[in-house]
Amino acid sequence: MAEFSQKRGKHRGDEALGSAVDFLLANARLVLGVGGAAVLGIATLAVKRLIDRATSPRDEDDAKGDSWKELNLLKATPHQQPRPPPASLSQPVSLPAPLPSAPEGPTDTELQKPPQLGSPVPLCLTFQEKLLAFEQEHVVIPAAHVALAKQLAGDIALELQAYLRNKFPELPFGPLVPGGPLYDGLQAGAAEHVRLLTPLLLEPGLWILVPGMDTVARDPRCWAVRRTQLEFHPRGSSPWDRFLVGGYLSSRVLLELLRKALVASVNWPAIGSLLGCLIRPSVASEELLLEVQHERLELTVAVLVAVTGTHSDNHLLLAWPLEGLAGNLWLQDLYPAEAARLQALDDQDTGTRRRLLLLLCGVCRGHPALGQLGRSHLTQVVLRLGEEEVDWAEEALGEHFLQALELLISSLEQASLPCHFNPSVNLLGSLREEEIDSIGYALYSGLQAPEGLL
> What domains can be seen in the chain, in order of their start residue?
142-333 (3.30.460.90), 350-453 (1.10.1410.40)
Single pTM value for the model: 0.72
Q: What is the mean pLDDT of residues 286-299?
A: 95
Torsion angle in degrees (nearest 10) through CA of 289, 293, 297, 301: -20
At 16 the pLDDT is 53
Cβ-proximal residues to 275 (8 Å cutoff; 6+ apart), any chain: 152, 155, 156, 159
pLDDT digits (tens, 9 = 90+) for 251-260: 999 999 999 9
Of all residues in the chain, the percent with pLDDT exceeding 90 is: 67
Predicted pLDDT of residue 84: 45
Q: At residue 51, does pLDDT exceed 80? A: no
Number of neighbouring beta carbons within 10 Å of residue 130: 15
- Please state the rounded mean pLDDT for residues 149-174: 96
Distance of CA 165 to CAs 30, 168, 190, Å?
101, 5, 32
Return the pLDDT at 427.
96
Q: Show contacts of 42-49: CB within 8 Å, 24+ apart.
A: 42/73, 42/74, 42/77, 45/21, 46/70, 48/17, 48/21
Between 115 and 297, the more confident residue is: 297
More confident residue, 57 or 133: 133
For residues 49 and 178, which has the higher predicted lDDT (pLDDT)?
Answer: 178
pLDDT range class, residue 434, cuts 50, 70, 90: very high
Q: What was the pLDDT predicted at 123?
A: 61
222-230 mean pLDDT? 95
Question: What are the pLDDT digits (tens) for 369-390?
Answer: 999 999 999 999 999 999 998 8
